[in-house]
Amino acid sequence: MDIRETEHQGRHALASADIPCGSVVAVDRPIASLLNPDDPSAVSNYCVHCLRRCLGSTCVPCPTCSVVAFCDRGCRDAAAKVHAVECEINLYQRRLAEKADSFRVFLTLKVMLQMDPETVKQGIKVLESRDDRFRRLFAMVTHNEVKGKEQRYKNLVLAHILLDQLKRSGYFGEDAQLTPEQELRSLEVTNRLLQIQDCNNHPILAMEDDTRSQVGLVKIGNGVYLAIASNFNHSCCPNTCRVNSGDATVLLATRNVRAGDEVCDIYSMHYSENTAADRRKWLSESFYFECRCRACEEDWPSYAGMEGRIGDAALMAELRKTEEALRVALRDGDVDAALRLHIKDLNVMEKARLREPHRIYTSLRNSMQFCMWRKYGKLK
C-alpha cells in the first residue's frame, strides 16, 4: 500500500497492487488499551493487560486489588509498573460504579503511563523527539477547529483531573513537586491526548458466543492504534473489516481491492443499517467530519430499501450451489473452507457485474465477517 495525504482526504491508504478478498491488510497493536467492558461485572473475565479472555487455571489475580485478573504470569509481570498506578488510584473500582462512556477518558491516562514521567514534564516537543511512537501519536488529527467550546473546556477540565490523579499516584515520584513550567507542560500533554482520543480511539471487541452458528460480539475496551487510526479513512461501504484478537487488531479485505483504490476502514454503521443523513449526523458529532463515501454521496438505501432479486438465472443457480456447500462447511466447523466459498461467491458476483447496493452483498459481508472472526479472533 501507498500512504498519501491530501487536503480533502488527509492521510489515506491506496492499494499499490491488487489486494484479493480475504487478505490480511494490516495488523496493529495499540500504543495503549483500556479494559472497559459494557458490562462492568465482566472486568475480571478479561486480562487487564492484553484483553484476552482469562481461562481457568492459567488466570492470575492481581496481588494488590481484587477487581482485575491477568491471563497468565507473563502478562501480570509485563503490566506490573502500569497496573501499580491503576491500583493506587483504584481505577477499576471506579469502573464498577461508572458508565463505560465516562470511564473511557482513562484511556488517556493509560497512554501517559507508557511515557517517561521526566519527559512528560518537558512537554510534547521533547516527547516527539525521544520516541517515534509519540511523534506519530501527536501527529494524529484533533479536529479542534470544529469542536465546540463546551468540548474544548471539558477536555481541559478532564486534563486537570487526570494530571492530578497521576501526581497523587506517585507517577512523577513520591511527594514530587512540579514547577509551574513542568505543570504547564504536563497539562499540555494530557489535554492534547484527550483531544486525540476524541477522534482516534477504536473499540475493542471480543467473541462472546462460541457456538458454530453465530458470533456474538461484545465491546470490552478501547485502544489507540497508530497505524490503523492514522492511515485508513472511514467509509460506510468499506472494503475491509476489523477483527480483534485480545487488544491486537487485524484488518482484512472483504472485497477485491484494485490497484489505485483507497483501502477503507469503517468507524460505525454500515450503510445497510441506517440512512445517509443519520450516519453523517452521528459521524459529525462523534468524529467531527462529514462523510463523503460513495454510499453517502449517492444516498444508498438501507437494507429494507435495497434490491434483493437477481434476474440472471445462471448466476442465481451458481450462488445457490455455493450456498449449499457453505452450509455444509459451517455445519462442520470448517472455517477456512467457508471463507474460500464466500470469496468464490464474491468473485462470481463481481464477474457478473452485480452492483451495490444489493441485499446479497450485505448478507455476504455479514457472513464473511463471521468466518473472519472465527479464523483470526483467537490468534496469539
What is the per-residue pLDDT across 201-217, written as a single tens digit (0 to 9) for each? 999 999 875 555 556 89
Residues 93-134 have pLDDT tens digits of 988 888 888 899 999 999 999 999 999 999 999 999 999 999
Q: Are residues 353 and 247 in the same domain?
A: yes
Q: Are residues 299 and 161 in the same domain?
A: no
The CA distance from 206 to 222, in Å, is 12
Q: Are residues 327 and 363 in the same domain?
A: yes
Specify the CATH number for the domain of residue 262: 2.170.270
Q: What is the pLDDT of residue 208?
A: 76
> For residue 4, is it within any domain?
no
Q: What is the pLDDT of residue 191?
A: 98
Give the amino acid at 305. Answer: G
Q: Are residues 274 and 341 in the same domain?
A: yes
> For residue 366, is it within any domain?
yes
Among 202, 217, 243, residue at a domain's last position: 202
Q: Are residues 193 and 242 in the same domain?
A: no
Q: Are strands 216-224 and 240-245 parallel, antiparallel or unpaired?
A: unpaired
3-class state of residue 173 by DSSP? coil
DSSP character for 294? H
Q: What is the pLDDT of residue 84?
A: 94
Q: Is the pLDDT score of 55 beyond 60?
A: yes
SS3 for 123-135, per residue?
CHHHHHHHCHHHH
Average pLDDT, the chain: 94
> For residue 89, is it within any domain?
yes
Band (380; pLDDT cuts 50, 70, 90): low
Q: What is the pLDDT of residue 98?
A: 84
> For residue 207, is it within any domain?
no
Among 202, 236, 259, residue at a domain's last position: 202
Please state the separation of Cα 150 from the chain's center in Å: 26
Q: Are residues 272 and 354 in the same domain?
A: yes
Residues 136-170 have pLDDT tens digits of 999 999 999 999 999 999 999 999 999 999 999 99
Buried-state track 112-122, b at ≥16 Cβ within 10 A, e below 16 = bbebebebbbb
Q: Are residues 240 and 140 in the same domain?
A: no
Residues 73-99 have pLDDT tens digits of 999 999 999 999 999 999 999 888 888
Q: What is the pLDDT of residue 209?
A: 56
Q: Are residues 234 and 301 in the same domain?
A: yes
> For residue 27, is it within any domain?
no
> For residue 145, is it within any domain?
yes
Q: Are residues 244 and 319 in the same domain?
A: yes
Q: Is the pLDDT score of 195 beyond 70?
A: yes
> For residue 23, is it within any domain?
no
> For residue 5, is it within any domain?
no
Band (264; pLDDT cuts 50, 70, 90): very high
Among 202, 217, 242, residue at a domain's last position: 202
Band (378; pLDDT cuts 50, 70, 90): confident
Domain that holds residue 107: 46-202
How many domains in the chain?
2
Q: Are residues 175 and 231 in the same domain?
A: no
Q: Are residues 179 and 241 in the same domain?
A: no
Q: Are residues 350 and 290 in the same domain?
A: yes
Q: What is the pLDDT of residue 252?
A: 98
